Structure 1
Amino acid sequence: MTELFTPSGVRLRLHSRSPGELNWLLLPGGPGIGAVSLAGLADAIDVPGAVWLVDLPGDADNVTPPGVAPDPFATWPGVLVEAAQLLPDCVYVGHSTGGMYLLSAPELEGLVRGLALVSTSPDATWRPAFVAMTERDPLPAVDEATRRYEADPTNENLGAIAVASAEWNFTAGTVDRGREFLARMPYNKDAVAWSDVHFDDVYAATWWPTTLPVLVLGGGADRIVVQTVWDRPGYDTPNVLRRTVDGGAHFLWFERPEEVRRAFAELTERVLGG
């Protein structure tokens, strides 16, 4: 596996390579879940060029990369700019919290050729809607796993919360595959704790590109990050391609990989000037 590190320890793992000049940088959500969670998205998008799975220093299992600072989270989220400086012709793809981190790094403008924001939000106003959803449709297994995690905050117990939440993250037709998928992922409690204190509740985008090609892609059945936030004025600029995938949940490539592929094909055409 080809693996690159930036000076501060951002890890880029090559997932696939096909003819083309672009470098696609896939940044996971969570935080605390590894970029390997986006391998299925990487397979679905079928884009020209190289596709890389990106882990920030201190996240998931990227805990001791070369160059990592004593407090790796002190460099978040601006450190993700280093990945776009490491390779040419980059298109950044952020899923969920990953997309929020991208919109908190205005230095990216001028460094990337495109941006894909998947199942994400421009600010933290999605969170009350998520809480309301969990109250309308509680999952006792999530409550039990959360109590175990609070009593013993280990990465394994954090993963158990994710597995227990599968019914919120996937539709009925994909929940079994989704549960198995979540059970295989690496988790990092320290990344979750940092984001909970320093980012999640106060997040608001610090930039919005008005000329860079942008794909805003969400699932019509996403119960985690409500997608109606994007209906607000200001996000429907001419450079934006917005696509809502009917029947797609939070990891919408599980339910609708063909529609995800078509949306990325449209973004690719715009990035390459077609």
Structure 2
Amino acid sequence: METRYTPSRVRLRRRTERPGRLNWLFLPGGPGLGSESLHELIDALDVPGSCWAVDLPGDGSNHVEAGDPFAAWPQVLLEAADALPNPIFAGHSTGGMYLLSTPALERRLAGLVLLSTAPDANWRSHYEATVASEPLPAFDAALHAYSAQPTTEHLRALCVASAEWNFNKAGLEMGRNLLARMPYNREAVEWSDTNFDSAYVANWWPARLPTMILAGSDDRIVGQSGWDDARFKGPHVRRVAIAGAGHFPWIENPGAVRRAFADLAEAALAYTAD
């Protein structure tokens, strides 16, 4: 796996390579999960060009030994976009929110994919409703343990205990396995919780950049109603609901996700040909 680092230690690891001029940059959610959470997504796709798993400095397994790795979050995303020609950024959940907090990306990108994400922090009311209506005693116990002792292993146990909210029954076993093998990084979780999550509001929107808003039809984590606003519509915007899927829709319905990305690839190739 080819690995590159930007000056601020954003890590890009090439996962797949096909003929074509596009470079697909996959930014994980969480934060703290690591880009390993997107491997099944990347492997499910058949798009022209190279697919890169991206980790910000201090996120996932991308540890930084000196200095404050979070000092330039999320603006450090610009370095990743500048590292490769014709980049398309795809951000999952909080990753998509970081992308929409970095306006200078617009003139650098060949496309934008927003996966299971939202335009502002109001998505949290949807998550809170899920927690209230679908209680998980194992999650409550794991949360208590993590609050008392915030270790990486307790964070992993907490995320695995949330699997029934993140995945439908068809994807539950695969989803648990996915969450169990992530590297996790509690410092990234704490930084985002303190500095970003509750105050998040998208501060840019593409004027003509090929854009796809994609989410599972049964996402119980991030509510999608915020995208109904007219300002998020336009001929350059595709909105795709993946049937029978949850917060990681490529787990339950990879075929539909593959087709959606193929459609965006066509639009991005036309856009970069202008």
Q: What is the TM-score when the length of structure 2 is the normalising length? A: 0.97
Distance 1:121 1:45 in 2: 23
Aligned residues: 271
Distance 1:143 1:180 in 2: 20
Per the alignment, residue 37 of structure 1 pairs with 37
Distance 2:221 2:234 in 1: 25
Within a 5 Å distance, the mapping from 1:144-155 to structure 2 comes to 144-155=141-152
Q: What's the CA shift string for 1:138-161, capped at 9, x where partnerless?
A: 111111001111111111110111
Distance 2:128 2:10 in 1: 32
CA contact (8 A) 1:32 1:192 kept: yes
Per the alignment, residue 83 of structure 2 pairs with 86
Distance 1:141 1:216 in 2: 32
Task: Give the CA RMSD over aligned residues.
Answer: 1.0
Tell me how far 1:133 sits from its aligned partner. Answer: 1.1
SS in 2 for 1:51: strand
Deviation larger for 39-48 or 20-29 = 39-48
Distance 1:197 1:173 in 2: 35
Identity %: 55
Unaligned runs of 5+ in 2: none
Per the alignment, residue 114 of structure 2 pairs with 117
Is 1:188 the equivalent of 2:185?
A: yes
Distance 1:144 1:258 in 2: 36
SS in 1 for 2:59: coil
Q: Alignment partner for residue 222 of structure 2, among 225, 236, 242?
A: 225
Unaligned runs of 5+ in 1: none
Distance 1:45 1:202 in 2: 33
Q: Alignment partner for residue 95 of structure 2, among 94, 98, 114?
A: 98
Is 1:137 the equivalent of 2:131?
A: no
SS in 1 for 2:12: strand
SS in 2 for 1:173: helix
Q: What is the TM-score when the length of structure 1 is the normalising length? A: 0.97
Q: What's the CA shift string for 1:90-135, capped at 9, x where partnerless?
A: 0000011000000000010110100000100011110011111101
Within a 5 Å distance, the mapping from 1:54-69 to structure 2 comes to 54-64=54-64
User: Hey, which bits of structure 1, 4+ residues long, moved more than 2 A?
Assistant: none
Is 1:213 the equivalent of 2:210?
A: yes
Tell me how far 1:45 sits from its aligned partner. Answer: 2.0
Distance 1:55 1:229 in 2: 27
